[in-house]
Structures are given as structure tokens and as C-alpha cells.
A and B are shown apart, each in its own frame.
Chain A
Amino acid sequence: MELIRLDNITKTYHMGEIDVPVLKGVSLSIAKGELASLTGASGSGKSTLMNILGCLDRPTSGQYWLDGQNVAGMSSDQRALVRNRSIGFVFQNFNLLPRTSALHQVIMPLAYTAAELSDRQARQRAQALLERVGLGDRMDHEPSQLSGGQQQRVAIARALINKPPLLLADEPTGNLDSHTSQEVLEMFHQLNEQEGITVLLVTHDPTVAASARRTIHISDGLIAAPRDGQDQFRLAGAGSAEVPTR
């Protein structure tokens, strides 16, 4: 069953009098439980596509179904609800609140919905998630007291607090060293396999892209030929991610 379906999505920015088309008709479908990566050079429309997938932005035209809902026509308040309920965000620079304990970071998204949860339930859920990402002993630590990998794991726990079906990770390992990158990627794989969460990794790091079971490559506002055989990525060097479009 498909979780995401994009149908001929276009996005055009208006810079003064000039129209800049960034997405030129993207059609894509991602099934529930997939772990996919989205790659592309800078300027290829990767970030724009991710913003649309994350319901942060609206497409100029085209249809976007997320979990059976047509998101493209929603108002900003409705999209905020979708972001809260259906999407977990993990950012490159973690985006944790300064001077706030890990536990409160994780509880934070519940402030906007989840009125049915009592404070104690919310706290318990956040504690369970922090234990799940291996930070059970650092719940009271503030971001400045945590390493990069630990911060990213707090961010992952925060993304999962509303039990979203989709986890959207924007360069999750961009600020991490290779060892902790591996740990974080491992965590995505675990979540994908054990919890059945659909994970979409947006990256331009070929090794990260290669760790996904499916790679979606975007180039010049269009999806390049779908590549299910990711084996060649594993073997290829840093520049080879760009190769298929040439």
C-alpha cells in the first residue's frame, strides 16, 4: 500500500518578473514501510521536493496524497496538523531548543495537539522513546551537554513522539563524523524494520544514499530513471551519484 503518491508535481518560484521552474512534473510513489533515499545535486530541486513532501510548502500544481489524504489543496493550518500527526522531521543541524532538557525537547510537539494525553502519559511516552534511542540515562541533559550523535538521537526521538508513519530526514548525518553517522543510519534501519516506519533520507552523500533500499535521484527538477539496483552506488565513488543523468 502506498504512503506517498506524487502526481505531476510542479513548483515555480517567481523572482520578480522571471519565473523559475524548480520542479517540472515529479511523479513518485513510496510504499508503506519503505526506506528510500532522495539524492540530487544542489539546485536540482531536492530541497524543494522535500519541503513539499514535508508539507512545509505547497506545489504550484499537481496532486500529493499522503496516507490517503490529498495534501496539495490543504490550508496552512491543516498542513500543520498533518506535519504534527503524520510526519517526523530530522534535520541536519538537529534544531534542538537551546537550554532545554532532552525530555522536554521530545515532549515539545505534543503541546500543539495530543490534548487527550495527560502530562504524565506524555512524559512516559517521551521517556520510552529516549530509552529506545539509547539515551535513557541522559534525559535531563541539555543540548550543550550532548555529543552530535546524541543530539541527533534526541531529534529522532522527538520526530517519533506522535508515532508518525513517515520519517523525513534532511541530511541527518551531514554534521556527524562517519562513526556516529553509521550509528544514526543504523537507527533508521532499525526503526524501519522493527516499527515499520517509512523513512525517507534526503542526502547527497552517496554512502548514505546507498544504505537505503531504494534511491530516488532527482536532477534538474525531474526524477531520474528509478534505480532499484542500488549495488552500483555501493561500488561507485563520491561523484558517481551525478552520473546517471549525464
Chain B
Amino acid sequence: MKSFFRTFKTAGQALMRNITRSVLTCLGIIIGIAAVIAMMEIGNGVSALNAKAISGLGANTIMIMPGTAASGGITFGAGSLLTLTPQDCDAIAQECPAISAAAPTVSTSAQLIYANRNWVPMQITGTTPAYLDVRAWGLDEGSMFTDQDVRNSAKVCIIGQTIKRQLFGDEDPIGREMRLGHVSIRVVGVLQRKGANMMGRDQDDLLIAPWTTIKYRVSGSTGSASAASSSSSVSDAVNTLNNLYPSTGVQLYPVPSASQQANTPQPVRFTNINTIMASANSTQEIPVAIEQVTQLLRQRHRLRPDQPDDFQVRDMTEFANALGQSTSLISNLLLIVATISLMVGGVGIMNIMLVSVTERTREIGLRMAVGARSRDILRQFIIEAILLCLLGGAVGILLGRGVSLLARWLAHFPTAISIPAIVASVVVAASVGLIFGFYPAWKASRLDPIEALRYE
């Protein structure tokens, strides 16, 4: 150990004897490592930004849909069975750690009328305020309706840009009353423009309202007809006024008869929703999130292990793959650049070490004469090379940090510190020293002391 430390000191002294050349030799490694660090940090920032942008498209979104009904071998397709409840949605949001937000959705189709104009939105969605978090969508003006509005089936909504243009033109829609089907509804907010989705569907042609409003006031009996539902009984009588005044028609707590209670000791399922949209914390956590949601729902729906799921969980695989590909493309590119620059730096080190061995032939001969074994010489020269590379690496890390900070301040490039890059650079710098220092060191150690002492 001590002799190792002494070799280290000897190597340091040898480098100090030719300080200018040592610094110039290091320059290759310094630039290489600095480039790696700066590229990695800037690249990290860019791919974080990229991930954010793509998750804005919905890459993190998980759709939970009710399962299929089947009868006599005939299945009726997704959504033919209504098994999801708003309570399921609350439970997902609260109990799944990999889920950042969850919102129930119900949908309907109805005509919108404002003044002398009318329009049928492509999508009318009833949901909770969490919907905007799930879809990573912001508001242009106004504000989102509140949970209070959801509980009260308040007649408020927010609208997309297309509806605003079709119904209001240049007018300010905030606070205006429209008619949605039979219901008078007030606009409280306007969504940001999102444009068409990947299928070409206009995402701005959208109206969002509390799901209770859509379900009970606008679409009325949607879903209550399902066999699986024990939803509040909406009167079957054809009475359009039910839609306007649901409080008379909706009985949230149906009074079961004594025999009913005895026969079905299940908790009463209040109401159903069409789908639950949830968002995972990150794209990487989607599989974990799906697993957690599946576990939770199976438990909540009291499914035996041998029973199939009565729901389906979908993720946006296409988006997630695109995201993964773009990220790996960036990092592969950086890796290639890094490898090339470090190779160049390493060749520089080897070059200088070879020159140094030739120049110091007499010194090597002397060291051998006073008792250095060839492995001592080998060790000394390898340590010199590694020391050069490590010093170059250290300076390079600082320089790279500096460059990425500069890029952040001057060009407003997003950068993020990359600890793996720093660790990798140190390891790479040391191994470049080892690999490219080995040949010159080996050459030095093979010198014949007699020849070396006589060398001029």
C-alpha cells in the first residue's frame, strides 16, 4: 500500500516536472469529458422537456373501461356492462401510489344552442375537475368548475375552442348561458387549443361539465338501463321535465324491501360511470400503475381469483413507445459523440506517453539500476497515464457543468444535472488512461537497463 502511494507520488512528481505538456495532454480528455457532461446535461433537459410534451398528448394516460357482457357465448363488446362507479375512481386516485390523478367520465350527445346559433359538439364529457390534470390540459380563460359543482349537479361547463368559435365568435363566452339539450348551462371557462389528435379528430370540439350534470340532467337515464346497474331508479315515464328537475326523479338511496335486503346482502351500488381516466406519475410507471389499478378494482368488485376482470385497463402504448424511442435516440447519439471524443483524447494520451517513455529512457534505466522491477516501471507509467486522465476528467466535469450552466443562462436551454454521466465520465477517464497508457508503460517496462542507461 505504501509503495503504491509512493509510486503515486513519483508519478505526480514526474507529471509536475513537465507541467505544460501534462496540461496539453489532458486537454483532449478535458474537452472529451466536458463535451460528454454538457451534452448529457443539456440532453437530459431536452428529453425531460420532450417527455413532458409527449405526456401532454396523453402518453401517461390509462383508460379504465367496464368489461364486456356475455350471454350464451355472445359477447357484447366493451362498455356493454356498467361496472365502474365514481367511488372506484376516488379509490384509484387515493390508493394507487403510481397514479397521480383520476377522473370519471360519462358522455352523451346533445345539441348546443346559443342565441341564433346551434352546434352539436363532437364530445360532451361529464367529469370532475381532476380531468384537466389527467389530460394535462389548461384553461385559456375563466376557471374550472369545482367539486362542489359536481356534488350539486351544477349547470356549469367549460368549452373547447371550436365551440367557442362556432357559438360565440368574437364574443366573450364566460358567464353566458347556453342551452344543452333541455338544460340551460353556464360557461365558466374556455380550454386551451389542443388541435386534432392522432386520428385527426378535433379535440377542441368538446364540452366538459360535472358528470352528475351530464348524467342526471342532460342524458337522464344513461346507463340506468343496464342489467348490472342498481342505479337510482329514474322514472320510465316519458316525462321530459324529469330532465329539468332531476331531484324529483333521482332517488340516490333506493329503499330496498326486506326480502331484497335478505337476498342481496351486497352494498348498494349507487351509480355507474362510463370510463375512468387516470394518469400515471410517469411513462415508466405505467405498467406498475396498471397492476395497482387492476388489483384495487378486483378487490373492490369482489372478484374471486378464478373470475375474469369485469373491467379493462388500457394504456397509450403507441405514445409511450414513441417517447421511449425519441429518448433512446438522443442518448445513443450522445453516447457515440462521447465515445469518439474520448477515443481522440485517449490517442493523445498514448502519443504523449510514448514520447515521454522515449524521452525518459535514461531515467527508466536509472530507476531499474537502483532496484525498480519491470512491474514497478509498468505501474509508474500506467499510474501517470491514469492520473493525467483523472485530472483531465475532473477539470472536464467542471468545464462541462460550466458549459451547461452557461447554456441555461444564455440560451435558456433546459438542463438537468446528470449524476450517472459524471460517474461514467470518471470511470471512462480512468479506463482510457489504463487502456491507452498500457502500451507505452509496457514498452517502458521492457527496456533493457543497460541499453537504457547508455541511451542518448
Contacts and interface: CB of A to CB of B under 8 A. Distances in A.
A236 interface: no
Interface stretch (A14-22, A110-118, A205-213, A238-246): A110-118
Interface string B5-24: 01101100100011000000
A80 B17 contact: no
A54 interface: yes
B371 A80 contact: yes
Interface string A31-59: 00000000000000000000100101100
A95 B455 CA distance: 11
A244 B369 CA distance: 33
Contact of A99 (B17, B365, B371, B375): B17
Given A51-B450, A56-B449, A95-B362, A84 B370 contact: yes
A95 B2 contact: no
B133 interface: no
Given A56-B449, A104-B13, A112-B3, A83 B370 contact: yes
A80 B6 contact: no
Nearest to B3: A115
Contact of B6 (A89, A99, A100, A111): A111
B369 A83 contact: yes
B363 to A, nearest CB: 6
A2 B376 CA distance: 32
Nearest to A93: B362
B337 interface: no
Given A97-B363, A111-B10, A112-B3, A83 B371 contact: yes
A104 B363 CA distance: 14
Given A111-B6, A115-B2, A100 B17 contact: yes
Contacts of B7: 111
Nearest to B374: A76
A57 B450 contact: yes
A100 B13 contact: yes
B453 interface: yes
Contacts of B2: 115
Contacts of B373: 76-77, 80-81, 112
Contact of A85 (B9, B13, B371): B371
Interface string A49-88: 0010010110000000000000000001100110111000
A98 interface: yes
Q: Select the residue from A51, A54, A56, A85 with max chain B CB neighbours within 10 A.
A: A56
Nearest to A105: B366
Contacts of B449: 56
Contacts of B375: 77
B336 interface: no
B91 to A, nearest CB: 69
Interface in B341-369: 362-363, 365-369
Nearest to B16: A99
A89 B17 contact: no
A109 interface: yes
B4 to A, nearest CB: 10
B271 to A, nearest CB: 83
Nearest to A57: B450
Given A100-B13, A112-B3, A95 B374 contact: no
Contacts of B453: 56, 91, 95
Contacts of A109: 370-371
Contacts of A217: none
17 contacts: A56-B369, A56-B450, A57-B450, A77-B373, A77-B375, A83-B368, A84-B372, A85-B371, A91-B366, A91-B453, A95-B369, A99-B17, A108-B367, A111-B376, A112-B371, A112-B372, A113-B371
Given A77-B374, A80-B373, A95-B453, 6 more contacts: A56-B369, A76-B373, A77-B373, A83-B368, A97-B366, A111-B7
Q: Which 4 A-B pairs have the closest CB atoms?
A: A84-B371, A109-B370, A80-B373, A111-B6
Interface of A: 51, 54, 56-57, 76-77, 80-81, 83-85, 89, 91, 95, 97-100, 104, 108-113, 115, 158-159, 162
